[in-house]
């Protein structure tokens, strides 16, 4: 099943808080893991990195390896990395780095291949926080409610295609493209073929999850010159299965849906530009409590986009 959500705050605001409420209301759709892709106020230079270290006991060694790989590309920590202080085996790490002197791709070719240290997102503004448990559990652990930003996406996962772990959950970052992520409700049946083609082109996949391919496939289309809208359009038939997914970039949220039209999407659009998206209307009512006009994107083969009002860089 799975539940998904999206939120645009105009002006920038409590996007973390709102997404937590949208997701907690949909926890019955799957709460083995919950994840948030949050867009803060974008920086001019450098990146924020979210990662998971598989073993707490090895954290300092893994961070040293990551720093070494980063320094090899002319970048460095721009602030001390932070991590959760809980007793779980895995550790969620947040780091900020300066601009690599060559390219993000070259840096990731080294920094994203450290055994036991998996990068979950890289962005000027995107931060992906995903972990085991329902929305409140993940929010309590990672302080998601305090996140102020422009927009974001979220997912409550009921695993069908791969195992339950923080890294195999949503959102999926479009590795190696900064600031692009997706959340997905459904199952893809041709992901193996699509993944295989993209691997041959040099893309790097970290999980066996069917959804991971969506973000990378879309980014590959856009890198080849297609617009975001064209890529969404093409995905409706290029992806096979039943799906409704939300794509997030720094300036847009977009969604697309397959020909079977079985995965719902409910949207509230405000004149201000604020948008709330959920799989179920009752989730959207957590943000808009009063009776409000909702758009039900119920038909087959449909897509839409919403512009994110641009924030002034910090």
Partner 1 sequence: MSDRVEIIAGERPIREINREIRAAVAEGEPVVVRDTLSRHNLGIGLAEGADIRFEGSVGYYCGGLNNGGTVHVTRNAGWGTGEAMAKGHITVDGYAGMSVGASMRGGIIHVKGDAGPRCGVAMKGGDIVVEGTVGFLTGFMAHTGRIIAVGGAGEACGDSLWGGEVWVGGPIHSLGVDSKVIEPEADEVADVERLLASLGIDGSHDWKKIVSAQRLWHFESRDASAWLMI
- Contact positions toward partner 1, by CB under 8 A? 261-262, 264, 280-282, 284-285, 289, 291, 294, 296, 298-300
- Distance CA(45)–CA(162), nearest Å, equals 36
- Distance CA(132)–CA(137), nearest Å, equals 8
Name residues whose C-beta falls within 8 Å of residue 15's C-beta, 6 or more positions apart in sequence: 7, 8, 9, 38, 39, 147, 148, 149, 150, 151, 152
- Distance CA(138)–CA(46), nearest Å, equals 27
Helix (H) or strand (E) holding 131: strand 126-132
Are residues 244 and 257 in contact, defined by beta-carbon separation less than 8 angstroms?
A: yes
Helix (H) or strand (E) holding 213: helix 212-223
């Amino acid at each position: 099943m799975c539940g998904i959500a999206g939120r645009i705050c105009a002006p920038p605001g409590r996007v973390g808080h709102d997404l937590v409420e949208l997701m907690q209301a949909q926890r019955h759709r799957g709460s083995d893991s919950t994840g948030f892709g949050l867009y803060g106020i974008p920086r001019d230079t450098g990146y924020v990195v979210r990662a998971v270290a598989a073993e707490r006991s090895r954290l300092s060694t893994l961070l040293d390896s990551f720093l070494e790989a980063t320094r090899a590309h002319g970048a460095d920590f721009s602030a001390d990395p932070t991590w959760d202080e809980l007793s779980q085996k895995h550790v969620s790490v947040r780091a900020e780095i300066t601009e690599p002197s060559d390219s993000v791709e070259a840096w990731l070719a080294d920094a994203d291949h450290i055994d036991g240290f998996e990068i979950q997102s890289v962005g000027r503004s995107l931060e992906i926080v995903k972990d085991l448990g329902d929305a409140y559990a993940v929010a309590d652990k990672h302080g998601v409610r305090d996140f102020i930003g422009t927009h974001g996406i979220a997912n409550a996962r009921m695993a069908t295609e791969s195992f339950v772990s923080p890294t195999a959950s949503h959102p999926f970052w479009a590795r190696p493209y900064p600031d692009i992520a997706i959340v997905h409700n459904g199952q893809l049946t041709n992901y193996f073929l699509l993944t295989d083609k993209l691997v041959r082109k040099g893309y790097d996949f970290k999980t066996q999850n069917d959804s991971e391919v969506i973000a990378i496939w879309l980014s590959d289309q856009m890198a080849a010159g297609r617009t975001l809208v064209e890529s969404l359009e093409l995905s409706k038939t290029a992806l096979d299965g039943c799906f409704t997914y939300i794509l997030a970039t720094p300036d847009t949220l977009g969604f697309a849906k397959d020909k079977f039209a079985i995965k719902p999407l409910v949207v509230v659009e405000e004149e201000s530009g604020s948008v709330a998206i959920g799989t179920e209307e009752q989730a959207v009512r957590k943000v808009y409590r009063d009776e409000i006009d909702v758009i039900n994107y119920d038909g087959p083969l449909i897509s839409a986009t919403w512009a994110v009002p641009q924030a002034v860089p910090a």
